[in-house]
Amino acid sequence: MPQAIIGLNLIPRIGKLGLDTNPCTAPSVVLSGESFELGKAFTADELAIWKDQFATLMAGPGSEERKIQLDRIRAYVTGTRAILQSLNRPAFKGINAGDTEVGFSHIRPVFTIMGGGAGVAPLTWSFALTTTLSPWLYENGTTAYTIGNGFGLIITHLLSLITPTPYMAEIQVKTSRADRLPIDVRALRIADNVNGVAVIPIPTIIALPKSTLYIRARSDASGTDEVAVRGLVVGLGRALKAEGTSYPTT
């Protein structure tokens, strides 16, 4: 298990301003300019489950995605706790959570609404891009889609599945709490990393249950890309079981 995960603990760490900065115990956090209440700290059992199972959800040793995941450990921990708090703090049970318990997993297309669709989730990440910033993840028109009642998202990076050359160039994100500046993701095309993989970190997005998410995207040359939204989905077991195109609203 990587040291970044092993080092997570339940000992409060008081910073210069007198505030607890330990992601496992801090009562609140400001992330990407947004404030989140984290509520009750992990229990010893919950932290042990989180550490052990997050290690199994990570990409394989040596991968570029794994490096991003390890770099964002604090965001994943605080995001998990923020979503738990939003769900009235049920027990965290990890990958095999029961229907009324909270677990986590990879973000699958079913947890998004792409290209509009009034509640219909996509089966794949494939999406046609143009040279104009146009809605990518949204409900319809200029309307954001609403995250289901039973889960939230922690988005930390994007991964293009198109070879040899991805198309996506920029994205612009709007959450319930903030309208963010456009983000340049052209490095997907040049695969600016050791292994030449089309993956790029973005400022962390924590989308709580019942919040809204609206993301626009553009390319420099029109084409169909297949960009996976990567990070974690955290939610009730009944929501994490979602299949097909039936977007999980509860």
Domain spans, the chain: 3-104, 106-233
| Secondary structure E strands in the chain | 28-31, 34-37, 102-105, 126-129, 134-137, 145-146, 151-160, 168-175, 183-184, 199-207, 212-219, 223-236
Determine if the peptide bond prior to 12 is cis (ω within 30°): no
Residue 201 corresponds to which tokens in the numbers above? 């970190």
| Residue tagged 């040049």 (tokens) | 190
Q: What is the pLDDT of residue 115?
A: 76
Percent above pLDDT 70 for the chain: 99
Pick the closest to residue 136 from 111, 173, 165, 102 (CA basis): 173
Per-residue pLDDT tens over the stretch 223-239: 999 999 999 999 999 99
- Comparing 37-51, 107-121, 171-185, 213-227, the range with the smallest average pLDDT is 107-121
Residue 98 corresponds to which tokens in the numbers above? 């029961």
